[in-house]
Structure 1
Amino acid sequence: MPLSEQEQRLLEEMERSLYQNDSDFVARVTRRQGRPTYTSITIGVLGALAGVAIVILGLVMRQPLIGIVGFVVMLAGVLFALRPGMGAPKPSARAPRTPSSGGSRGPASGGSSNGGSFMDRMNERWDKRNDPNQ
């Protein structure tokens, strides 16, 4: 069921308010925390393979407890492989906290160089469409 005009305007207003008032939160949510390192991927894959081997061993020996342990080892290996690298800087360390500039961000914020981010451009188009005075 599509949103009504009033609900859409309210949602857009809430989104603009979020971008204007809590830019640190938006930066934390949209920016990637860090990449997994090759070492963690290698250890994680080896752990996952060991977990599969333990699960198969549990099936062959008909011991469900060994299979469960193998599944836990396999899951831990996958999670270890996907975790961000330990040396990755936190987003707050990369982007110093600055006061909000009324919702308009420059081209250095990750958008294209001709008008800010995608959401800023979409908000501007929405405002122009709905405001006959512009």
Structure 2
Amino acid sequence: MPLSEQEQRLLEEMERNLYRNDADFVHAVGGVRGRRPNYRSIVLGILLAVAGIAALIAGVALQNLVVGIVGFALMFGGVLIAITPSKRGPMSAAPGEPTTAKRTARSGGGFMDRMNDRWDRRQEGRE
């Protein structure tokens, strides 16, 4: 059973509002993404974890509790260092490339805003 004109308009309005609200949500939550991984801390963490595993195995082989505990602590600390996100800001642009704020200001909005505008223009053309 097809929808009436009023129901279709209401549905289209609800869709537009949903896309606008989703774009706002994506924009609000999207600040977490875009961080560049700190490769130095990842490598250091992996090296510490490997050294910790070796010390843990050595502690078990030598039946020395202190060496085993130190190995476990090294291993645990290395994993924490490797998986902890960097405290640097969002990714910086390459030299000569505009930053995200400049791109957004120049293009008149973010990606989702442009997509919403395109969607709205398509929907207005069908009516």
Query: Higher helix fraction: Structure 1 or Structure 2?
Result: 2
Report the TM range for the smaller structure's normalisation.
Answer: 0.3 to 0.5
Q: Structure 2 length normalisation: TM-score?
A: 0.48
